Structure formats: C-alpha cells, structure tokens
Structure 1
Amino acid sequence: MADIKIDTNKCDNCGDCTDVCPMEVLILKEGELTINEPDECSYCETCVDLCPNECITID
C-alpha cells in the first residue's frame, strides 16, 4: 500500500495532481485535495513531480 501524504499547509488545492493521476488516487472533494483508494497508487510519482508547492510525498 502506498503511503501518500499531503502537506495541507502547503497545498492550495489547485488540482494539477488530480489531472495527471492515472489511477485517480488523488481527487478534489468539496474543493479539498483528498486521497481516494491509496491501494490503487501505481507509484508513478507524476503528482509529486508536478506539484508546484511540493506538498505531496509517496513512500
């Protein structure tokens, strides 16, 4: 299981990561970035690379 963390102090909920997540693990729910089905994460780290605020980590 992927250990996905979002630093909510840095995240501005821009949605860039949700647009590129091939597994739809990251979603915007009620305007806030949310982790949906973390077991589905493919560890591609595209969201990590794309995030302008460096608020997503995957271990």
Structure 2
Amino acid sequence: MGVTIDYSICRGAECAECYNNCPMEVFEIEGDKVVVAREEDCSYCGVCEDVCPTGAVKVEPEE
C-alpha cells in the first residue's frame, strides 16, 4: 500500500506538515499540492501520519 494522501481532505502546501516533518524527505510540493515523490526512501516511521492535522496521510508498509 505505501504512503497515500487523501486529497479530498489534504490542505496541501498551505499546511505541508508531512513535507516539513518527514525525516526521509519523501514528499515534494508541486504547485499547491504535497505529493509522495520518493516512496522508495520511506522508512514507514509514521511521522507524516502523526503530524497531519486532517488525517489525510496514511502509511501502510509494503508486504
């Protein structure tokens, strides 16, 4: 499954808590959206999920 963002509730670049707090720098900002740019670098630590104020970011380790 990996890292997913629910764009129907994500506040994007105006928030960017996932982008600002990811220790692995998995996210990028493209225009007004935050996107998962380097999922292969994700350590599945869950920081992005924890800091997301809307619950838009979900982390599920690949099996």
What's the TM-score once normalised by structure 1's chain length?
Answer: 0.89
Q: How does 1:36-47 map to 2 (within 5 A)?
A: 36-47=37-48
> Which runs of 5 or more structure 2 residues have no equivalent in the other structure?
none
Bigger drift between 41-50 and 22-31 goes to 22-31
User: 1:3, CA displacement in angstroms?
Assistant: 0.9
Match of 1:3 in 2: 2
> Which runs of 5 or more structure 1 residues have no equivalent in the other structure?
none
Q: For this pair of structures, how many residues does the alignment match? A: 58
Q: Once the two structures are aligned, what percentage of the paired residues are identical?
A: 31
Tell me if 1:12 matches 2:4: no
User: 1:32, CA displacement in angstroms?
Assistant: 0.5
Give the 4+ runs in structure 1 shifted more than 2 A: none
Q: For 1:27 and 1:18, locate their aligned partners in 2 and report how far apart those are by CA, in whole Å.
A: 7
Letter in 2 for 1:40: D
Letter in 2 for 1:57: K
Aligned-CA RMSD value: 1.1
